Structure 1
């Protein structure tokens, strides 16, 4: 068992790893080119997530630098109490132990997830997809160099080069202690992990996010937010899938025609419900299943809602529990919406694309949880901890 490293050692290692990434840019890009050339699938979201460029390396480096600068999340006192017999009782944050993250396509997760786990005193087992193998193996090799340079055990960061059968066997009967599993990817991956895992699982990755345009919305703002949330990064779980428009919006047709025009500039496929049926450039929804889908593609639903109550009901019925936004000039309406929509992040007059650990001031994220236990939304450094009770006595016994 690797003993917990003190905060100076953990921060020094993260800083060293950031320098290694900067030094080995050429090698990282070369390894990623092999992965990109070898990817023959037609999933544009997966291809986008797979690609590593200079900007993505900059993001990896920044994530490690921000982690190194943050306060130690361990040993933080959450509760203290002096017993009537004189014992001092306190509750403090503590590491989980070993975390397994199973993810698809994204080499930057190999840096960000491992960095967050390491800083919070947890070992991490990384199980990446075969499509990003060369990128991941190189990045894990850099982790091991940084660990060795700081006289830390290599098993703080372990890469599991398993196929699907081997992964299933490990989930059902782990060959080492695993305290928490985070599947980060599509719905099939999440279902696979939940079916076979024998320890706690935090579900991450599914979006299906909504924007509701209230009757008191600013039309220009609504269009800007919808276009940003839909088109800037279609592979992100915080991208927009569904737009609900109040039937009482005065300039509804003006909004629709302008919105459709802007979406078509990015070649977005537009599906509409019956009240908007027949509008040029759109297709009417024929299968209710569409409402449950996270598209991860240039595809969107635009539908009419009779009022805010129907909008809330629609989001809570079909949404992925990730993010929802309301566009309105009425603060009371916004508050009502935000209090009643059942998602990890709720927005008023802002794009859902901000649901991200870095954007929320967490300095990165392990994943974005749509579960309610033990953390909801972006899981940052501060959340990758459990707790432990410390009881200090002077010989007390219980009668």
Structure 2
């Protein structure tokens, strides 16, 4: 795709803001068709599927925020002149064509496309079948905005392929793909990694941990845990595992207190065998596999550890590398935890729910990357470019 001027891109986004707003009823009607067809056997997936006026306002806000951001393409990263006279400039450049594969959330159809377009990349949107009506209407809005500004609809395409067709496209794409972002659970990520012929940026798996140290402020710790677990169970930044230091004063009574507080939010508890008796209503962890599991539900696992080192080791073994928090009044202990825990975001006395582009000041995000290449954490506009070297000479040859 050709390089567009910042003005042209912003004109498309200005059109998109008006088009989304005028098509509210059409978007809500399409979403109702998706909701009516959905079998509510997965509450987290259903929650992600819902579109209401607040969600539409959020879509408009995401487009406006990206429109207001600086164009990430063509920014100078470095510049130097070598002894032989060569002038070398490294600048940001578009990826080319990005494919995102995601489940349920129709707002991703807006956020992913607005980021890719402002970053001058074409995007292929492979949404889930459960959101097909919503996604079709939202992509129609994109196409109207593009055509209104004299651009091809090819910048933003919606794929409605089934699993077998998607597999075949990944193996033998009909056009060059530069990056694929699977945004979902482990099965989706494994599927894409197995079949893709280009770079894959992993996103979406949470399984986040909280470690309650022996010197934690207990009331503060409970507040953070409850927010991280219950604020939005469908978020990949939700809390799943709680490690409590066995040296915490009044250990058993505080476990009982935590269980009581979580029960008020209808959180199902599973726990290590020796803790079950202290946690009213808790069941024993069925197998080690549960430690690796991302729940996406009102469910939490509680375990105990003996000290910071054991907590760090356990988190690094079982977590998804997304987010982890330590609850302690000791800043040195917190610093060690944050340095040694291998996650995209690490917290001290704060909820994991802040691992989000908007909350972290990045703005709209394509995904939360748990990869270490090309970027880790919220993948916003600035992170959705690659780079290119421009080398200017006057006849130099290498001898």
What TM-score comes out, normalization by structure 1 length?
0.98
Partner in structure 1 of residue 307 of structure 2: 307
Residues 1:378 and 2:373 are matched in the alignment: no
Partner in structure 1 of residue 76 of structure 2: 77
Q: 1:255-294, aligned counterparts within 5 Å?
A: 255-279=254-278, 280-294=280-294
Structure 1 residue 397: Cα displacement? 3.2
Residues 1:173 and 2:172 are matched in the alignment: yes
2: CA distance between counterparts of 1:49 and 1:114? 18
2: CA distance between counterparts of 1:370 and 1:398? 41
**Unmatched segments (≥5 aa) in structure 2:** none
Partner in structure 2 of residue 44 of structure 1: 43
1: CA distance between counterparts of 2:49 and 2:373? 29
Structure 1 residue 22: Cα displacement? 1.4
Moved more, 386-395 or 102-111: 386-395
Query: Alignment partner of 1:356: what SS?
Result: coil
Q: Deviations over 1:14-34 (max 9, x none)?
A: 122122111211111110000
2: CA distance between counterparts of 1:286 and 1:132? 34
Moved more, 21-30 or 204-213: 21-30
Query: Alignment partner of 2:80: what SS?
Result: strand
Cα distance change, pair 189–41 in 1 and its aligned pair in 2 (3 A): farther
Partner in structure 1 of residue 229 of structure 2: 230
Residues 1:334 and 2:334 are matched in the alignment: yes
Residues 1:61 and 2:60 are matched in the alignment: yes
Q: 1:13-28, aligned counterparts within 5 Å?
A: 13-28=12-27
Q: Matched residue pairs, number?
A: 398
Partner in structure 2 of residue 149 of structure 1: 148
Query: Alignment partner of 2:190: what SS?
Result: helix
1: CA distance between counterparts of 2:158 and 2:128? 11
Partner in structure 2 of residue 188 of structure 1: 187
2: CA distance between counterparts of 1:387 and 1:222? 43
1: CA distance between counterparts of 2:7 and 2:217? 50
2: CA distance between counterparts of 1:347 and 1:328? 11
Partner in structure 2 of residue 30 of structure 1: 29
1: CA distance between counterparts of 2:288 and 2:47? 28
2: CA distance between counterparts of 1:127 and 1:164? 11
1: CA distance between counterparts of 2:67 and 2:188? 31
Q: Deviations over 1:126-167 (max 9, x none)?
A: 010110000000000000000011111111101112111111
Structure 1 residue 285: Cα displacement? 1.5
What TM-score comes out, normalization by structure 2 length?
0.98
Query: Alignment partner of 2:277: what SS?
Result: coil
Query: Alignment partner of 1:92: what SS?
Result: strand
Checking the alignment, whether the CA contact within 8 Å between 1:209 and 1:352 is kept in structure 2 is yes
1: CA distance between counterparts of 2:281 and 2:14? 51
Structure 1 residue 85: Cα displacement? 2.5
1: CA distance between counterparts of 2:68 and 2:92? 19
Structure 1 residue 41: Cα displacement? 4.3
Partner in structure 1 of residue 205 of structure 2: 206
Partner in structure 1 of residue 139 of structure 2: 140
2: CA distance between counterparts of 1:291 and 1:86? 58
Structure 1 residue 58: Cα displacement? 1.1
Partner in structure 2 of residue 96 of structure 1: 95
Checking the alignment, whether the CA contact within 8 Å between 1:278 and 1:284 is kept in structure 2 is no
Partner in structure 1 of residue 358 of structure 2: 358
1: CA distance between counterparts of 2:310 and 2:142? 50
1: CA distance between counterparts of 2:152 and 2:393? 35
Partner in structure 2 of residue 322 of structure 1: 322
2: CA distance between counterparts of 1:152 and 1:341? 46
Q: Deviations over 1:205-259 (max 9, x none)?
A: 1000000001111111111111101111101100000000111111323422221
Moved more, 274-283 or 361-370: 274-283
Partner in structure 2 of residue 217 of structure 1: 216
1: CA distance between counterparts of 2:15 and 2:217? 48
2: CA distance between counterparts of 1:9 and 1:220? 52
Structure 1 residue 287: Cα displacement? 0.9
2: CA distance between counterparts of 1:237 and 1:276? 27
1: CA distance between counterparts of 2:398 and 2:287? 65
Query: Alignment partner of 1:383: what SS?
Result: coil
1: CA distance between counterparts of 2:16 and 2:187? 33
Moved more, 231-240 or 186-195: 186-195
Partner in structure 1 of residue 343 of structure 2: 343
Query: Alignment partner of 2:396: what SS?
Result: coil
